[in-house]
A and B are shown apart, each in its own frame.
Chain A
């Protein structure tokens, strides 16, 4: 069964360091999402791609976060510099299309980031 792959699964970094997360969506899925989930809360959308284009990044803290999906397949989310408040689970998800086809999102296992 096809799955969304993410790495690393766990990351511990010091404040002010740079950190990067990688996601490989299910093959053929045009839409890719990056979410941040704080313990006890629901996933919060950071950025949404349709193929290689950003569709929504309204909640992405652009002064320190960046995301790319250069060839419309896998994606990287970067934080530089990391802050203590960035400690969270970072989830990647994919779906097969926009709007009516996006109600079923497939999530990867996530990267748990701890900033010390």
Chain B
């Protein structure tokens, strides 16, 4: 089977940097994606790591270490609108199936 672990809640202040970790256990690992979901909204794609290392997209960066079965999402210069749930998702080699974690609720305070 597959399992993913991420913290349930994180709180930070506006302008700060926050890191959301994700550890996984899976067979047939292909890559790790990150999604953002605001309350009542649909998940939206943020970032993907297929190889070890750091991927940067504006204020958001994502990191992957295949040997450690670990990744993280880094959010810089936090804004109030970043308050949302963040999900890591393992992409499996089995026909591209994705398995999502239970999400981390980020609260950004003034």
Interface set of A (CB-CB < 8 Å, partner B): 31, 33, 40-45, 48, 50, 55-56, 91, 93, 95, 97-110
Contacts and interface: CB of A to CB of B under 8 A. Distances in A.
Q: In the complex, which of the residues A31, A44, A99 has the most CB atoms of chain B within 10 Å of its own CB atom?
A: A99
B20 to A, nearest CB: 13
A45 B99 contact: yes
A103 B102 contact: no
Contacts, number: 73
What class of interface size applies to chain B in its complex with A? 20 to 34
Interface of A is mostly: mixed
B43 A41 contact: no
A16 to B, nearest CB: 28
Contacts of B99: 45
Contacts of A106: 45
B98 A99 contact: no
A110 B95 CA distance: 23
